[in-house]
Chain A
Amino acid sequence: QVQLQESGPGLVKPSETLSLTCTVSGGSFSSYYWSWIRQPPGKGLEWIGYIYYSGTTNYNSSLKSRVTISIDTSKNQFSLRLSSVTAADTAVYYCAREIVPWDGSGIFYFDSWGQGTLVTVSS
């Protein structure tokens, strides 16, 4: 069974860059989209973007100018960098695996998630 685990600093200063890594174990790294999703305290969930093992990415336009998602297939890891952070970026950050319907069914869904890691932006 696949497992995802987020790691990275829990505290980031305003204007600096938030960096997180998701380590994937117990499953294939190819054939899926690997996503980052966040949830500010007391608020709803927001999809940040995904990366495919080939390196293809797709970002939420609301964050596109500040987001970079990268992948290291040799380590079964993918990473998030969010630049110029403010207090509004304080959130629990999740990594998740999205099923891709290579069979042409059109049915995508996130089937596995990490437990999430809280990142606080504060000086």
Chain B
Amino acid sequence: DIQLTQSPSFLSASVGDRVTITCRASQGISSYLAWYQTAPGKAPKLLIYAASTLQSGVPSRFSGSGSGTAFTLTISSLQPEDFATYYCLQHNTYPRTFGQGTKVEIK
């Protein structure tokens, strides 16, 4: 199975900050990576797919980059509704596997 390692696991930031989350794959996955936002009691929300394609309706402050084994999710200016947990997910092979998550909290 492909292992995804996210860093950091926890991030404390303020509204307006630029935030970057990294996801590294144990083997090359081309651009077959997606990013999701989760919050308690809510359905996970797709932010980015194919490493850098913004899902329709997602604010442009979210962006993704990378290919192969190294990927990043960037939030250019953190908003109050962005305090949540973020996961990367590889769609290169089955079984689908997720990173361990990055919790973004208010400083």
Contacts and interface: CB of A to CB of B under 8 A. Distances in A.
Interface residues of A, number: 23
Interface stretch (B13-21, B67-75, B76-84, B92-100): B92-100
Name B's interface SS.
loop
A114 to B, nearest CB: 6
Contacts of A88: none
Interface of B: 30, 32, 34, 36, 41-46, 49-50, 55, 87, 89, 91, 94-101
Interface of A: 4, 35, 44-47, 58, 60-62, 94, 96, 106-116
Contacts of A113: 43-45
Given A44-B101, A45-B87, A58-B94, A108 B43 contact: no
A106 B89 CA distance: 15
A102 to B, nearest CB: 15
A118 B90 CA distance: 25
B14 to A, nearest CB: 26
B42 A111 contact: no
B45, B94, B96, B98 — most chain A CB neighbours (10 Å): B96
Contact of A44 (B43, B55, B98): B98
B99 A44 contact: yes
